[in-house]
Amino acid sequence: MADIKLTDKYISDHLNESLDELSKLCAIPSVAAQNRGLDECAALVSVMLERRGFKAEIMPSGGAPVVYAERKGKVDKTLLFYNHYDVQPPEPLELWETPPFEANRRNGMMFARGVSDDKGHFVSRLFALDALLAQDPELPCNIKFVVEGEEEIGSVHVPAFVEKHAKKLAADACIWEFGYVDHRDIPMQVLGMRGICYVQLDLECLTQDVHSGLGGSIFPNAAWRLVWALSTLKGPDERIRIPHHYDNVLPPSQRDREMASKLPYEGDEYRQRYGVKAFLRGTDGHPDLHLQETLEPTCTICGLTSGYQGAGSKTVLPAKASAKVDFRLVPNQTPEEVLKNLRAHLDAEGFQDVQITYLGGEAPGRTDPDDPFVNLVVNTAKDVYGVPQERVPMSGGSGPNHAFLHFLKLLVAVAGLGYPGNQVHAPNENIREDLYVKATQHVTRIVNEFAKS
């Protein structure tokens, strides 16, 4: 058993070194959506693990490589960390105050694309192990890492990878890629993740753009057809109109409402931070807003593009149009059924000409909120944050946790350094250094307690 006072001192003494290591990792533009920097980043992740005495492998997945690493410990119990080394695209570049791939520390924060999601989490976990290893050359228990490179594009190859390597990845529990405090700085325990089905819809109605004075009355317009096709998917009532979309949706349980009720109301925070004037469907109040936020299916337009988008006017009838659409799924929806229903729906509505490209998907996944490992992670937080984690029934976001739950029969809990202002997926992504320290301290305690549990 490590002396937690000494690990805390180590963390405090070596913070700059750890953030320097994080800066180097953030310097690699490992943007999965743009297929750049991935091999280079995987190589660095592998080296960082080997530096801590891990046996690391860069394993093919069918897409971006997965870095797998393991190291034995004193006790023969295994804790698996799931992280990812890929990041979101940095665009729009003009909104960054400092360049996205040059980490910049200011005002007790560090800014870079991926510094929070998810490179900061990965490096803080290594930092926690450094603190433990500084006291004892042996780890308290076996530790494994799965660090993948396609999380931001839906972890396309991860489920098959996990299934294929289930024996190698076997563990007793899993700490998920993230964790966060809410706007009151209270740490959260997230007990599930929505699934996702991300598609691109493309239309091409002509072989070239045409002067709008010529074609406007007689030629089909890809932008119009896209608008009409999209408007059949969801109306202003926010109800998804694809037949069978809600067939397998489980409504929130009594335990979900109970957990949600203990969480704070976030509406004011959202209004202030994002300038929301009214929430969708007029929902507000507690816990209704939270349950709608995390336990309902969504259909989100993430992007639209067609024709002329520059300054002023251009009188053109565009030959092509496309949209990116993201469906978030709740138990027991699957990306496969969503995709199938979407195709059937567009066909039935007369949009056979809309081409659907599946850009990735994951099934939703949940963890038993009252499992002993969840209790361990929840309770060890108290020593760091002053309060235990609060249980969140489900995250609005997605990840491949379903594969870990399903193929590895693992319990998945979260612990990490996120906070509401860290701008993940947006310009000026950042971490708070105080929370980086706390997340690291929390991991030393989790490993310690897990080894003796």
- Asked if 201 contacts 194 with a C-beta cutoff of 8 angstroms, the reply is no
Stretch touching its own copies by CB under 8 A, among 71-79, 122-130, 253-261, 295-303: 295-303
Residue 107 binds its own copies, judged by CB under 8 A: no
Query: Which stretch, 134-142, 157-165, 214-222, 333-341, contacts its own copies (CB under 8 A)?
Result: 214-222
Binding flag, residue 275, its own copies (CB under 8 A): yes
Question: Binding of its own copies at residue 352 (CB under 8 A)?
Answer: no
392 burial level (CB within 10 Å; 0-12, 13-18, 19+): buried
Q: Which residue bears the tokens 């209270």?
A: 186
Give the interface segment with its own copies, choosing from 108-116, 162-170, 217-225, 406-414 (CB under 8 A): 217-225
Q: Give yes or no for residue 118 binding its own copies (CB under 8 A).
A: no
Nearest to 266 by CA among 256, 274, 258: 274
Concatenating the DSSP letter of every residue in 224-250 gives HHHHHHHHTTB-TT--B-STTTTTTPP
- Amino acid occupying residue 394: M
What does DSSP assign to residue 33? G
Residues between 35 and 64 that touch its own copies (CB under 8 A)? 35
- Token pair, residue 58, equals 């860069």
Give the interface segment with its own copies, choosing from 7-15, 118-126, 149-157, 334-342 (CB under 8 A): 149-157
Report the distance separating Cα 270 and Cα 276, nearest Å.
7
137 counts as binding its own copies under rule CB under 8 A: no
Q: Which is nearer to its own copies, 147 or 323 (CB)?
A: 323
Pair of tokens at residue 242: 């694809």
Q: Output the smallest distance, CB 289 to its own copies, in A.
A: 6
Report in angstroms how near the CB of residue 373 gets to its own copies at its nearest. Answer: 24
How many alpha carbons fall within 13 Å on the CB side of residue 275?
A: 0
- Of 144 and 328, the one with the shorter C-beta distance to its own copies is 328
- The residues, ordered by sequence, that sit 6+ positions from 157 with a Cβ below 8 Å of its Cβ are 61, 62, 63, 64, 150
Among 219, 248, 263, 433, binds its own copies (CB under 8 A): 219
Q: Which of 152, 177, 256, 362 binds its own copies (CB under 8 A)?
A: 152
Structure tokens at 92: 């729009």
Report the nearest approach of its own copies to the CB of residue 96 (Å).
13
Beta carbon nearer to its own copies, 179 or 215:
215
CB atoms within 10 A of CB 280: 14
Stretch that binds its own copies, among 12-20, 133-141, 288-296, 444-452 (CB under 8 A): 288-296
Beta bridge partners of 199: 325, 358
Q: C-beta of 231: minimal distance to its own copies in Å?
A: 4
- Binding residue (CB under 8 A) for its own copies from 5, 107, 137, 312: 312
Minimum CB separation of residue 281 from its own copies in Å reads 9
Give the angle 169-170-172 at the CA atoms, nearest 5°.
130
Should residue 167 be labelled a site residue for its own copies when binding is judged by CB under 8 A? no
What backbone torsions phi and psi does residue 327 show, to the nearest 5 degrees?
-100, 125
Residue numbers 174-203 binding its own copies by CB under 8 A? 194, 196, 198, 200
Q: How big is the site for its own copies, counted in residues (CB under 8 A)? A: 93
User: Which one of 21, 70, 130, 326 is in contact with its own copies (CB under 8 A)?
Assistant: 326
Q: CA torsion, points 271, 96, 420, 121, in degrees to nearest 10? A: 160
